[in-house]
Structure 1
Amino acid sequence: MTKNEISEKGFEIVALAGDARSLYLKAIKLIKKREYEKAKMEISEANDILKEAHQCQMDLLTEEGKGKYSDLTLIMAHGQDHLMTAILLKELLEIVFLDLYQDLHSIQK
């Protein structure tokens, strides 16, 4: 795999992880409005996009594991950063925001 191909994968990861992150943030806003079903739809779409980003990462890891390349580009590192951020936001959203807000709102009723 060439440096250009690695960078292209990095750009793809940045774009996909960024899209997922935006949808997770939109879901948080919906949760704050108590629009849980809409939020769950946004989360589901974001999860699908995040899976694509993770697959790009796995493709690169597989290639590296086979010894097909060893160069890391700044763009690829940037993509990894975006992916990690989106994954963390997903985990916080599902664990903290969705569960906590639903529990709090059910107590208030």
Structure 2
Amino acid sequence: MDKEAVQMMSFQLVAHVGEATAHFTEAIKFAREGDFEAVDREIKAGDAEIIEAHNSQTDLLRCEVTGEEIEFSLLLVHAQDHLMTTIVFERVAKELIEVYRELREVRDAK
């Protein structure tokens, strides 16, 4: 796979994880406001973007596993970094959202 193809796949990765991060950030905002229906929509949209990012990553891995030469790209390293960071952010966001849910339940019970 030539460098241009690797870079295009890298751009796809960055675009998808950027969208996912935006959705997870919005989900936290909605959780703070108590709008858990919006939270669920944003989490679902963010998860869909992560799946698309994983699909791009899997395409690259498949090429390498089958012996296709992959041109080194710093952009790919950057994209992989963003993917890993977004996956960690997703986990933290989901935990924080659960804290907001529990806090809302406690407040509503009073």
TM-score computed with the length of structure 2 as normaliser: 0.92
Give, in angstroms, the shift of residue 33 of structure 1.
Answer: 0.5
The residue type equivalent to 1:22 in the other structure is A
Aligned residues: 108
* Number of the residue aligned with 2:24: 24
RMSD (Å), alpha carbons:
1.0
User: After the TM superposition, which segments of 4 or more aligned residues of structure 1 sit over 4 Å from their partners?
Assistant: none
* Number of the residue aligned with 1:106: 105
Structure 2 unpaired stretches of 5+: none
* DSSP 3-state at the match of 1:71: coil
The residue type equivalent to 1:98 in the other structure is I
CA distance in 2, matches of 1:86, 1:70: 24
CA distance in 1, matches of 2:17, 2:92: 15
The residue type equivalent to 1:61 in the other structure is L
* DSSP 3-state at the match of 2:67: coil
| 1:49-102 deviation per Cα after TM superposition (whole angstroms, max 9, x unaligned) | 1100111001101111111024320111111111111111111112x2121111
Identity of aligned residues (%): 31
The residue type equivalent to 1:57 in the other structure is Q
Q: What aligned pairs does 1:87-98 form with structure 2 within 5 A after superposition?
A: 87-94=87-94, 96-98=95-97
CA distance in 1, matches of 2:83, 2:89: 10
Give, in angstroms, the shift of residue 34 of structure 1.
Answer: 0.7
Q: What aligned pairs does 1:36-55 form with structure 2 within 5 A after superposition?
A: 36-55=36-55
CA distance in 2, matches of 1:52, 1:91: 17
Q: What aligned pairs does 1:5-84 form with structure 2 within 5 A after superposition?
A: 5-84=5-84
TM-score computed with the length of structure 1 as normaliser: 0.93
Structure 1 unpaired stretches of 5+: none
CA distance in 1, matches of 2:76, 2:7: 6
